[in-house]
Homo-oligomer: A and B are copies of this chain.
Amino acid sequence: MIPFKLTDKLVAEIEQLIENQEGKKLTSLLEDYHYADIAEIINDLNEDEATYLIKLLDSDKTSDILTELDEDVREAILNNLSAKEIAGELDELDTDDAADIIAELPEEIVQEVISEIGDKEHAKDIVDLLRYDENSAGGLMAKELVKVNENWTVTRCVREMRSQAENVTRVHSIYVVDNDDKLKGRLSLKDLLTVSTETHIKEIYIPKVDSVNVTENPEEVAKIMSKYDLEAIPVIDEIGRLVGRITIDDIVDVIREEAEKDYQLAAGISQDVEADDSIWDLTRARLPWLILGLFGGLGAAAIMGGFEEMISKHAVLFFFTPLIAAMAGNVGVQSSAIIVQGLANDDFKGSISNRLIKEMLLALLNGVILAAVLLIFTWFWKGHFYTALAISISLVVVIVVAGIIGTFVPLFLHKRGIDPAIATGPFITTSNDIFGILIYFLIAKFVLGI
């Protein structure tokens, strides 16, 4: 397949057709494009052009396009649609996507939009989904699934399944419930087709089925589904009733978003932003960490000011502060990154103290190697062995302390229920800068006997 590539030429062509109101040409041009590709095109158009296209194309296509658009573009387009038009789009969507769109609408029109949805069962399911926290299995699941009652016969089961399956894009599994709608197990299609039509489901279903609670964290759901290689998982409520189903495509998005968030936090970006966001959004995401760094730097300056009397005799010590600070920062970030990843993947064995001891040994090994290099370089360069020794000893100690801080802080935050990813990046580098410089001057003072 030739992958779709958004070109300026294509966008210009479409803009021209929109300007000339050539609806027919547009429809036939866009007919062969996948909705995800059309969404990319529309993200590049202005509000009026985008609205024109959405109104022009068929609602079975535009509904899917809407789910793929950037949030701000979607918001602008929906603002230009009537409640009835929005409801028409929601009618075409699965309940989870429809609920996500409703959650973004201004409150005053939500009720009107819902009342305009043609299929009342569909509307009811969507309203059900609005109850759940966005950040839970309930907020992720769809109501579309195939379920059968354990008391049904095979004949009835097949009949009911056929009508349910019409609303479900991918069936994946047939879930079995009891009269109270409690999840009991799942059904193998093969078993269903090889037994007598009068058999009750109760006698043939598989009682083992993985499920998650409706309040479960999406990241936990992602872990379970990818660990057990599941393509869909049923969601149950507090008393075990089957309330929805999560499919793997939603989980792929959860994994991506989580990874991006962690990456941005490690880089000192505190909100979900993209390169194409406005300068103002990007500033708000970046400035807080820079201010933290600024105050860290002021703290470091204050510490160095406290050792001012050393400057006349040992100016060279001051030349090495950026080196010490950088090494403390780098080691701290390395250690915390390993811990944050280990916590995210649940692949930790052993206790916190073992972890700290290991990190200390690791830092010591790295520190001694680096200090040896530094000692030789500085000694030859500056010709003063004791200064070189003082700097090298400090480096070892600073690296070990930095490693311990980098290990301890994320573990501590995790224990307190705070996302440890927040502790990586600027937070660790800034605190390690300050500790590193303080330790450095104290040790240098001691070794040089000032």
Q: How far is the CB of A300 from chain B (nearest CB, A)?
A: 4
- Complex CA gap A301/B300 in Å reads 17
Number of interface residues of A (CB under 8 A): 103
In the assembled complex, which residues on chain B have CB atoms less than 8 Å from the CB atom of A262?
259, 263
CB neighbours of A330 from chain B (8 A): 268, 289-290, 293, 426, 429
Determine, out of A12-20, A21-29, A223-231, the stretch whose residues face the partner at the interface. Answer: A223-231
Selected contact of A337 from candidates B267, B304, B323, B433, CB within 8 Å: B267
**A256 in contact with B226 (CB, 8 Å):** yes
List of B residues within 8 angstroms of A287 by Cβ: 366, 369-370
The interface bits of chain A over 224-253 (1 if a CB of B lies within 8 angstroms of the residue's CB, else 0) are 101111010000000000000000110111
Q: Is the CB of B327 within 8 A of A293?
A: yes
A212 within 8 A of B: yes
A274 x B326 contact (CB < 8 A): no
**Residue A130 at the chain B interface, CB threshold 8 Å:** no
Chain A residues numbered 294-339 whose CB sits less than 8 Å from any CB in chain B: 294, 296-298, 300-302, 304-305, 308, 311-312, 315-316, 318-327, 329-331, 333-334, 336-339
Instruction: With CB as the reference atom, state the residue of chain B lying closest to A225.
Output: B252
Contact B318 A282 (CB under 8 A): no
How far apart sit A246 and B150, CA to CA, in the bound complex (Å)? Answer: 35
The interface stretch among A104-112, A115-123, A341-349 is A341-349
Whether A279 lies near B361 (C-beta < 8 A) is yes
From residue A395, how far is it (CB to closest CB) to chain B in Å?
8
Q: Which residue of B lies closest to A44 (CB)?
A: B349
Instruction: Report yes or no: B319 in contact with A322, Cβ–Cβ below 8 A.
Output: no
Find out whether the CB atom of B362 lies under 8 angstroms from the CB atom of A279.
yes
Please give the count of copies of this chain that the complex contains: 2
Q: Is the CB of B276 within 8 A of A249?
A: no
CB atoms of A297 and B323 under 8 A apart: yes
CB–CB A331/B298 < 8 A: no
B301 and A323 within 8 A (CB): yes
24 A-B pairs (CB sep. < 8 Å)? A3-B224, A36-B228, A255-B255, A255-B259, A256-B259, A259-B260, A259-B262, A269-B334, A269-B337, A274-B345, A274-B347, A275-B342, A276-B347, A283-B362, A290-B366, A291-B370, A293-B330, A298-B323, A298-B377, A301-B319, A304-B319, A305-B319, A322-B322, A325-B326
Closest to A68 in B: B227
CB within 8 Å for A290 and B327 given contacts A267-B333, A424-B267: yes
Taking the closest CB of chain B, its distance from the CB of A286, in whole angstroms, is 5
CB of A450 within 8 Å of the partner chain: no
List chain B residues, Cβ under 8 A from A425: 333
Chain B, Cβ-Cβ closest to A340: B263
Instruction: Kindly state the separation between the CA atoms of A298 and B227 in the bound complex, as whole angstroms.
Output: 46
